[in-house]
């Protein structure tokens, strides 16, 4: 399913008992490209009236045509939006792509971090993924077991120098 790119400012969830999974992405980041399959799988498994996924492209270099090409070429199946002025990135203190934030209707960050532990460092990927952090968190969230969780993300830096 192809989504169009929303070029409006990012917004937090407003529905009662709702959660938004913000995944900061860059079409230029090889780690983001690697994770598209996992992002789609997680979205298909957990998207509901209460859990929404949004791919956020914070870098000014991520023009709409590049984002659309990325979503088409890599078959990213979640809604996407830009955050050129870094309003959401600053609010969440996002630093990297990919970096995930699960936020509730009160704008409280319940999860911050990586999708899993596939990457040890930039360019250094594990042969076997041993921790599926986001998947585990979302499964617990669905069952009503909400614990604030933070893991270390590995990825490409968000370009905060785009606008100061």
Segment 57-110, tens digit of pLDDT:
999 999 999 999 999 999 999 999 999 999 999 999 999 999 999 999 999 999
pLDDT at site 91: 95
Domain containing residue 21: 16-162
The count of structural domains within the chain is 1
Q: Is 128 left (phi over 0), alpha (psi -120 to 50) or beta?
A: beta
Asked if the model's pLDDT at residue 151 lies above 70, the reply is: yes
Whether residue 98 is preceded by a cis peptide bond, meaning omega within 30 degrees of 0, is yes
Residue 5 lies in a domain: no
Local structure of 29: helix, strand or coil: coil
CATH classification at residue 86: 3.40.30.10
Residue 1 lies in a domain: no
Q: Specify the pTM.
A: 0.91
Residue 85 lies in a domain: yes
Residue 110 lies in a domain: yes
Residue 32 lies in a domain: yes
Residue 2 lies in a domain: no
Q: Which residue has the tokens 């969230």?
A: 141
Residue 8 lies in a domain: no
- Whole-number average pLDDT of the chain: 91
Residue 138 lies in a domain: yes
């Amino acid at each position: 399913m192809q989504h169009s790119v929303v070029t409006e400012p990012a917004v937090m969830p407003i529905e009662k008992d709702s959660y938004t999974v913000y995944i900061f992405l860059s079409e230029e980041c090889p780690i983001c490209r690697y994770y598209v399959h996992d992002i789609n799988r997680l979205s298909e498994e957990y998207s509901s009236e209460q859990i929404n996924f949004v791919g956020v492209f914070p870098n000014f270099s991520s023009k709409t045509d590049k984002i659309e090409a990325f979503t088409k070429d890599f078959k990213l199946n979640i809604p996407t939006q830009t955050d050129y002025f870094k309003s959401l990135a600053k609010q969440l203190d996002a630093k990297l792509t990919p970096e995930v934030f699960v936020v509730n209707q009160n704008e409280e960050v319940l999860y911050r971090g990586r999708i899993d532990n596939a990457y040890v460092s930039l360019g250094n990927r594990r042969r076997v993924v041993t921790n599926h952090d986001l998947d585990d968190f979302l499964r617990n969230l669905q069952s009503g077991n909400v614990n604030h969780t933070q893991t270390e993300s590995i990825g490409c830096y968000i370009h905060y120098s785009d606008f100061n």
